[in-house]
Structure 1
């Protein structure tokens, strides 16, 4: 029992080691199934194994005419367009020209200063001029430079600057520097002597440098623009045309054609496979994480985990077989069946997450086809969300209607704007949508019955069948133990109303209360409910034997429930409604006869349990005890009933009988109020008529020798 005053449906529960182990196994199995479905072709195909450069051992022809966009031809056309774009250079850089003219003046000024250096010897002048950076001069040129007269040197200086400036004005590429330097001699004035022309040439050539540079970015942009202007090139293959001849080497073009015809079996790409498995692991972790955080009971019950794994695996395999590579089959894939089954058998929120899980796998299979993913999820989600509690078969039929209408809307949303589907295509898709809805409903209905029986689940329809008074066990209870039958009816009303009040499963609670005491039909006369003639069979038995008979009604009820194949959830009400309580009346009687309490083995007088494990069985324990206590005490006011109910519920809580169920203190307050309202309507004071004063006491006024006759309300509540 939880000691909180706030009812929190989504509060986090402590995850048991069993749940963790099953979560790991479920995740591992789902990852293997999902990864296999996403990477491996499940059915054999007519695809062949070939690679570029391999020798073909058979002749392959086109099965039908097909036109497709050839990536190879398109790339060739784009390369040709790219090659037509010449390299782009920036215009002559004036800054480079100015820099080289400045360099020319600097070199000439340096030579002029050396020529007029009166302190330098001729050898020293030769050394100075040979060391000019960037302008290498031969010894011959240096000698002629030093030998020129001032007038001739002045002409050389002017002519050198003019030639360098003139040539640097034009565009000079890096590859054109040598050619441009050869033009120096043609630009020198013929008025100069040969010696002057030689000096001008030697000084000018090194100063001619590239001033126009390659613009890689602009060139790439222009070439990319030229590529983009090329339209995709289509290739048409005629029916019967030979794609690969026998004994010929397989070309890239042949591989492309085979790929477009889907005749080529794709080779296993380990990097892609690893990526696919990682994707599968990611979505599986999300699902398992949700189960650990919000749906721990599903993991704790092995059959529920197995059911979830079975449904997900079946629909993963079905998606692989029906969705990729087909035209109409994807529109027949009944994904809504899985959503409705998980919603009705397990949980609605889990159903939505499971649909999204399958939707992610479909998106991977279809390379992100928004139409197919929306088509698969749209109707499935709407049908699942609208399903609610299944109380009649028409609920499934309405789910099929939602699937059909939603899928038709999805088709119209995606197909009408494109206007690519003709009338025949619309008829085929519409028929597929209607058939999809019918198949989804049929499979969901069949699965609901079959899986409910196979996995021992208390489905709504199954519980409604058990709630019918014509069920053989209830008929036996009415005929053999009528008092117990009426007690069960009253307790079922109390339990149902309390369950509705706190958000528990009201239908399961009601049905469980119907069958919780069916074991009393084995020996009905040993229970005070059925002792109409006032004869007490326990008067001739010792206390331990009487206690064993009383306690045995739990085991007898369980045997009957198994014989008639009642769901385990209903059988839990039989085994848990008494918890581990003591049959106190016979225990105290045994103690009195023994004289000392230590001489009596209390375990012989205690129910085997277990204690209530769910809210529903906990409510039944309280209702069973409260009804017995109120009936035994005969209260005359609502306040007395309220006090009796409080004493009984407090006693059960203090005894630890509610420690293993999820009832909170706030739940107990609401349950007490509901019990008081129900019992007040049954055990209210009545007006005494004159004939009532002469009426003989009934059997119900006698002590409850079923298990106790103590005067306290708590003892009176401890009935089998």
Structure 2
């Protein structure tokens, strides 16, 4: 029973690889968690919402809430305080008496100036203007000096009476100008207009405030007004909208949101727990996917490490520039990662990684749902259009598909809004188109970098290597034209079979073109390069030397491939197209020389070093190579013989265990056999034998001369 168990080194290797995968998944998950919980964004807000922010949506309560509003209470108290008028003291009679006494003193001084017989008119006017606080115009001063004594006495008496009447009222600081303007109404109508103007000019400077402002009383009144205001209680009914989408959040609205439980607390515990739940779920999802799936890159640790680094680079870049932005989230070329994975590996793997990256990149944002759908669906459309990216135009159309689908997603979430900003929608649509073209451009760059680092082959590289003017193909054509023609036929045969079973047809075709490149190093040792009727170089060689020479075309091909920088994936076709099969012609000769005693012949010498085919594509090449060679050697007469030939070839490969590592099903092998039969039948179909024509019956102008007579320079 022991041989049925897996060898211990294989078990240890599997466990080691599985352990590395799990470790890598844990590390990436922890780093992804860090991107979600650490404030790495350029514009990071402390809270989800702050007073002054724009509400991202209509926010309504799910239950009735009643609370004492400190904000509204303070606003009511401020309004009550502002409504309090300044408090002034009662009118002070002492101020009135002081001003009347000052007026009388001034009038006496004017009388003295009038009685000065030695001063000139100009000197008297100057003396009147020298009185402090009394600003008389020159013509008014001249009128005062020219008045008769009796009239001046009347004016003096009237001025004192007018000031007394004006100062009897309570006059505040802001009322002084108004009282001064009302002085003419206090003057007796017995005076002329000029005399009344003199009284007004003399009295106005002496009218001042007799009721002074009291800061103490005013502050007391304000405090009493504030204390009289009762606390404000605010109530929201269940389902009532607190703030509408697009409105500025006022302090009162922010307080209501906080009381209703819509504002995140200062504690980050809940946020961290939520992020842990999300990352854990996605990590389990990826773990189950890795467990259920195999093949590149899931079995290649180096590929997984590079993909993990690229994933983290995109995630951290998104978390750095996207939060709290309006347009940049739609400009960010997140689709480039999914396009790169899908074009290098498979559509399924690209879809899986795109889902995870889209969810994590948009998590925690106010528009997380629509942004996640924008990233996810637009990337899906781009991947489906791009495929394997066989042409540059495919990348362009993939970028257009990302832009148009992204624009559609934006409109799907924005058009139902009550107020539609058409300029904003046009801006976001243009951003989506830019992001699509940028993603396609970055995919070209990432494809080149990844393929160089990992030794992968992209569709564009395969197109380049399939050009007939490639140096290695030219080397094969010039040195081994028979091998070149054989490779062309095998590539056509294998390509059609690859298309029939859903394998990579282009990779199969290009790999087939180069699989026998090593024969160009020693072309005459291979029958397709030998001239018919000439001596076979293997006839005089020892079978072991002949077999070594034949087998060496594999290693020679690898050397040429490395010299011409062929990717490792194309080198696999050189290594695996014979697997561990035997050079049967040389082995048969060795048995013949050993008189059919197999114990005297080491069959390992006559076997190719392998490895056996490890993919459908290299297996197809092995089968196509064998079928084409046998068909060319045996020349089957009809389709039945051809079908028997193909079946024997496939059965032989199965018996030798060459197809064990290729995942080819019995249905695949049946389809391959049918495809080979159809293709080979067309290649080796019978041709019509043209009859010879007599020169006497056919004009000489219509006859072609014998080939030997044709001038080579004219051909």
TM-score, normalised by the number of residues in structure 2: 0.63
What whole-Å deviation, never above 9, does each CA across 1:58-95 have from its counterpart, x for those lacking one? xxxxxx99478999x995329999xxxxxxxxxxxxxx
Correspondences of 1:309-708 after superposition (within 5 Å): 309-367=308-366, 369-418=368-417, 420=419, 422=421, 425-426=424-425, 428-532=427-531, 534-595=534-595, 596-688=597-689
What whole-Å deviation, never above 9, does each CA across 1:140-192 have from its counterpart, x for those lacking one? xxxxxxxxxxxxxxxxxxxxxxxxxxxxxxxxxxxxxxxxxxxxxxxxxxxxx
Q: How many angstroms apart in 1 are the aligned matches of 2:405 and 2:665? A: 42
Q: How many angstroms apart in 1 are the aligned matches of 2:307 and 2:663? A: 24
CA contact (8 A) 2:358 2:375 kept: yes
Deviation at 1:363, TM superposition (A): 4.0
The 3 A distance-change label for structure 1 pair 490 and 47 is closer
Q: How many angstroms apart in 2 are the aligned matches of 1:491 and 1:234? A: 72
Q: How many angstroms apart in 2 are the aligned matches of 1:285 and 1:24? A: 11
Q: How many angstroms apart in 2 are the aligned matches of 1:226 and 1:639? A: 86
What whole-Å deviation, never above 9, does each CA across 1:217-242 have from its counterpart, x for those lacking one? xxxxx9976799896796469xxxxx
Partner SS state of residue 68, structure 2: helix
CA contact (8 A) 1:387 1:395 kept: yes
Structure 1 match to 2:197 = none
The 3 A distance-change label for structure 1 pair 606 and 590 is same
What whole-Å deviation, never above 9, does each CA across 1:375-407 have from its counterpart, x for those lacking one? 333322222233334221111111222222223
The 3 A distance-change label for structure 1 pair 302 and 562 is farther
Structure 1 match to 2:163 = none
Which 5+ residue runs of structure 1 have no aligned equivalent?
A: 1-14, 50-63, 82-221, 238-251, 692-720
The 3 A distance-change label for structure 1 pair 631 and 315 is same
Correspondences of 1:142-161 after superposition (within 5 Å): none
The 3 A distance-change label for structure 1 pair 335 and 80 is closer
CA contact (8 A) 2:66 2:236 kept: no
Q: How many angstroms apart in 2 are the aligned matches of 1:434 and 1:381? A: 15
Deviation at 1:509, TM superposition (A): 1.0
Deviation at 1:35, TM superposition (A): 0.7
Q: How many angstroms apart in 1 are the aligned matches of 2:420 and 2:240? A: 30
Deviation at 1:544, TM superposition (A): 1.2
The 3 A distance-change label for structure 1 pair 689 and 407 is closer
Q: How many angstroms apart in 2 are the aligned matches of 1:486 and 1:658? A: 26
Q: How many angstroms apart in 2 are the aligned matches of 1:419 and 1:449? A: 47
The 3 A distance-change label for structure 1 pair 230 and 549 is closer
Q: How many angstroms apart in 1 are the aligned matches of 2:314 and 2:305? A: 14
Q: How many angstroms apart in 2 are the aligned matches of 1:583 and 1:299? A: 35
CA contact (8 A) 1:304 1:455 kept: yes
1:30 to 13, 24, 28: 28
Q: How many angstroms apart in 2 are the aligned matches of 1:464 and 1:226? A: 68
CA contact (8 A) 1:67 1:236 kept: no
Structure 1 match to 2:218 = none
Deviation at 1:580, TM superposition (A): 0.8
Segment drifting more, 384-393 vs 543-552 = 384-393
Where relative contact order (Cα < 8 A, 6+ residues apart) is larger, the structure is 1
Q: How many angstroms apart in 2 are the aligned matches of 1:436 and 1:659? A: 45
Deviation at 1:481, TM superposition (A): 0.5
Q: How many angstroms apart in 2 are the aligned matches of 1:586 and 1:518? A: 21
Q: How many angstroms apart in 2 are the aligned matches of 1:681 and 1:552? A: 32
Partner SS state of residue 538, structure 2: helix
CA contact (8 A) 1:583 1:605 kept: yes
CA contact (8 A) 1:501 1:670 kept: yes
Deviation at 1:563, TM superposition (A): 1.9
Aligned residues: 500
Partner SS state of residue 386, structure 2: coil
What whole-Å deviation, never above 9, does each CA across 1:250-270 have from its counterpart, x for those lacking one? xx99xx9xxx9x9x9x97735
Q: How many angstroms apart in 1 are the aligned matches of 2:70 and 2:652? A: 88
CA contact (8 A) 1:78 1:230 kept: no
Q: How many angstroms apart in 2 are the aligned matches of 1:492 and 1:531? A: 21
Q: How many angstroms apart in 1 are the aligned matches of 2:629 and 2:565? A: 29
Correspondences of 1:101-250 after superposition (within 5 Å): 235=250
CA contact (8 A) 1:23 1:292 kept: no
The 3 A distance-change label for structure 1 pair 311 and 666 is same
The 3 A distance-change label for structure 1 pair 661 and 409 is closer
The 3 A distance-change label for structure 1 pair 395 and 269 is same
Structure 2 match to 1:169 = none
Structure 2 match to 1:185 = none
The 3 A distance-change label for structure 1 pair 74 and 348 is farther
Which has the greater radius of gyration? 2
The 3 A distance-change label for structure 1 pair 654 and 320 is same
Structure 2 match to 1:11 = none
The 3 A distance-change label for structure 1 pair 38 and 650 is same
CA contact (8 A) 2:41 2:323 kept: no
Which 5+ residue runs of structure 2 have no aligned equivalent?
A: 1-12, 74-232, 693-715
Structure 2 match to 1:85 = none
Q: How many angstroms apart in 1 are the aligned matches of 2:51 and 2:619? A: 72
The 3 A distance-change label for structure 1 pair 571 and 282 is same
Structure 1 match to 2:68 = 76
The 3 A distance-change label for structure 1 pair 409 and 582 is closer
Deviation at 1:536, TM superposition (A): 2.0
Q: How many angstroms apart in 2 are the aligned matches of 1:344 and 1:572? A: 20
* Cα RMSD after superposing both structures: 3.7
Q: How many angstroms apart in 2 are the aligned matches of 1:438 and 1:687? A: 56
Deviation at 1:655, TM superposition (A): 1.9
TM-score, normalised by the number of residues in structure 1: 0.63
The 3 A distance-change label for structure 1 pair 227 and 414 is closer
The 3 A distance-change label for structure 1 pair 592 and 278 is same
Q: How many angstroms apart in 2 are the aligned matches of 1:47 and 1:624? A: 65
Partner SS state of residue 365, structure 1: coil
Q: How many angstroms apart in 1 are the aligned matches of 2:664 and 2:558? A: 25
Deviation at 1:343, TM superposition (A): 1.5
